[in-house]
Every structure is written in C-alpha cells, then in structure tokens.
Structure 1
C-alpha cells in the first residue's frame, strides 16, 4: 500500500514539475558593451512573425541602481511619457533599439517583449540585453601620463579589463585594479610624442566573464580641451 502511495505521489510531483516548466516564462539574455559617446543597437532576438512596424513590440529599461522599470517603447513607438527624457532612442525596422551617443546613465537592462495583439497576453519569453559603458580618460601627473579604461556595469562587475599594446598585454606598464572593473596604464610623458607607435596601438580589451566574449576598444588621443579627470567605477 505504501509503495502504491509513493508511486502516486511521485507521479503527481513529476506532473507538477512539468506544468511549472511549461507555464513559467523563460528569460533569454545577452551582454553588450559600448564606448561612451558612440552609438549602439540592441537587438531584439525574440521578434515574432506578423509584426507591422513593430506594433506588438515593447522595450522596458531598468537602470544600474535597479529602480523601477520604465517602458521606453510601446507598440513600436517611443513612449510619449518618456520621449522628452529619452531623446536619443529610436526603433529600427527589425524592432531593435538604437541608442545614440551612449552615456553612463544608459547602463542597465533592456528587455524586449512580444505580443500578438494589443492588450493581449505576452507571446514567448523576454529577451534582455545588459548594456555596459566603456569610459576612457587621460590625465597627467608630473612627468607621467595615466590612461584609464573603466567599465560601468549593471549590478556587480562581470568584466575583465586590460590594456593591450601592439596586440599584446604590456605587463611592465599595466596596473590592474582587482574588482574595480577598470585598468590603468602609466608611462612617461616623453612617450606621448610617439603617438603613431604608442597611442595608435593602445587598445582596451574587455572580456565578459560569463560569455567569454572579447571586445577591443582603441584608445583615441584627446586634445587638451577634451581631457577629463580619471574616474573609477565599482
């Protein structure tokens, strides 16, 4: 009798697990990084067939502080309630989200959601893109020049950052900042006169610790009027 009850209970638990797996919405995600001041397109990878002007697509945003979610795009159009604040956004023909001149405040999670009808139930899983912003700065300290590459991320740091010179890690000059999601390279001011040999080959390598995807961001020498104070993000 006990064996029969155990079999019945096991069957019931398996059925409940199956139902839960079928009804719990899935969330697909990816990670992207963009340099501050540059444009980026966040792809919506869960677009369904039958869309006309992305009229059944929404984009929601939650910033790096995990405050309340904001609906940026409703029915393929920038939401009227946020249009004045998010003037750098637009929706592409394939329902992706274009962000122009990326800023630090753009860091966060962008969720693309699909519907078959307006006001109807959601169709398929969410697709969330976690956007990080790369910031490069340069400043002088006596006879030295310090160049910094920092990654501002959503949540805890999930990137490894290092400077590359001529395609290889310059171990003698690189100073890593463990856990800070940033790295600096320090060199004598006299080296700056050799721009074509040093600056033009200096690249910031950003590796996502989860996906192992690598991105290279070339360093661009700024004029004295454009230089900014070195900042570190945690």
Structure 2
C-alpha cells in the first residue's frame, strides 16, 4: 500500500507537469462532515449540470449516485456524512476534454479508554499518505506520543492531570497534505459539539439510532475492557505564518 501511494503521488506530479488539461486537487475532510468536490471546467447552472462525468479510482464506469452521493447543478460532487471508505481518487471529465482529479482523504479521531489509560487516535483513510501528529501535549510529562504517515496517537494515565482537566481545545490533530502542503488542524472535542443548521439525512438518523441501541455511541476494541468513543468534529484555521 505504501508503494502504491508513492507511485500515485509521482503520477499525480507528472500529470501536473505534462498535461495542462488535467487538474490535480486534494481534499481532506473529517468523517461525518459533508464533502463538496468541484469540477472547475464543467458547465452548470440553473438548468443543471451538462456533460460532466464523475468516476472513482479511474473506473471506466460513471460514478453511481445515492442518497449520500449526488451531482449538484454546478456539477460538483456532494458526498454527505463522509465515511472512511469514501476516500479515493475522484475524476471529473467535462467537454471538450478537460479532466480534474481530486484525491479525497478522510480524517477520523477516537478516544480509547481502558481501566488505567486513555489513548487518542487520529487516522487518515485514502490513497495518499499524509503526515499526522497530535499537538497540545508538548509541555506535559508522562504523555506518550506516536506519529507516522496516516496515523498518530497520544496516551496518558487516567490519573494524569491532562485527563482531569479535559482541555479539549488543546487536543489537536495536525494533518499535512502532501500534495498541496497545506496543514489541516482538527480539534478532538466531544464535550463541545459544533452546532449546525443543516438537517441530518434520513440515513444518518438511522445510523445514529442504531448506534445508540447497539453500543451507546461507543465501539469496543479487541483489547480487554477498552472502549473507544468518536469525538465531535471541528476544524480550525491554521496561521500559516507559524507553520
């Protein structure tokens, strides 16, 4: 998988240089958010999208639409309630021969608790291997961090002051896009969910209802007496002068 990701990145770079008609874009979104992938060269408007064709992972077949995934009047691809499996390479072809490739990566964060320890995990799903790391714990002692491509974690004892303080605004997962070099910052924030004016889809309502019945908004791992809870999502802007 690592070799494939690097090959994909090289191919994307070569396409940028050799084909002016192909535009390469990258999108990094949090799971359960909505993603809007634009098709810049397509002709859309009040009459709807005309001529644009979306594909996934270079499939010869057009992308099928569903309740969560559809093409807007402006020819953008709207993916609602994004899940990890939605990560991939989306292509849009518009007349006469304009092509856009968008690599979608999905960020997931969970808090895993055992009898004595807490571990925060941040992972990225998709074809590209973005660098991931947790920040906000640099001055703490007895806090153990691990970071790599696609995944990062931070662990500490349940008796540690950082766990008692629950200073969520300081618990930040940084994801550096290795295509655009942009840094995305996500806060793990289960206590203060971000309010929204959008209405959840029927599919999302069903999933939430099933989740409450099955596992009370938590998932159990194979580790004994450990439970992992997904955090609410919030992305904060980055001050690029400090990056």
Q: Say yes or no: TM over 0.5.
A: yes
- Give the structure 2 partner of residue 183 of structure 1: 152
Deviation at 1:90, TM superposition (A): 2.3
Runs of 4+ in structure 1 deviating by more than 4 angstroms, as ranges, are: 48-51, 168-172
Size of the aligned set, in residue pairs, is 179
Cα-to-partner distance string for 1:120-144 (whole Å, 9 max, x where unaligned): xxx1321011001111111123311
Match of 2:217 among 208, 214, 226: 226
1:160 and 2:131 matched: yes
SS of the counterpart of 1:146? Answer: strand
Residues in 1 aligned to 2:89 and 2:216: alpha-carbon distance in whole angstroms: 33
- Give the structure 1 partner of residue 175 of structure 2: 206
RMSD of aligned residue pairs (Cα, Å): 2.9
SS of the counterpart of 1:46? Answer: coil
Q: TM-score, normalised by structure 1?
A: 0.66
What are structure 2's unaligned runs of at least 5 residues? Answer: 1-18, 192-211, 222-227, 229-243
Match of 1:142 among 115, 121, 124: 115
Match of 1:98 among 78, 82, 92: 78
Residues in 1 aligned to 2:84 and 2:148: alpha-carbon distance in whole angstroms: 21
| Structure with the largest fraction of helix | 2
Q: TM-score, normalised by structure 2?
A: 0.64
Deviation at 1:92, TM superposition (A): 2.5
Answer yes or no: is the 8 Å Cα contact 2:85–2:125 preserved in 1.
no
Answer yes or no: is the 8 Å Cα contact 1:174–1:183 preserved in 2.
no
Larger Rg: 1
Residues in 1 aligned to 2:60 and 2:157: alpha-carbon distance in whole angstroms: 46
Answer yes or no: is the 8 Å Cα contact 1:138–1:147 preserved in 2.
yes
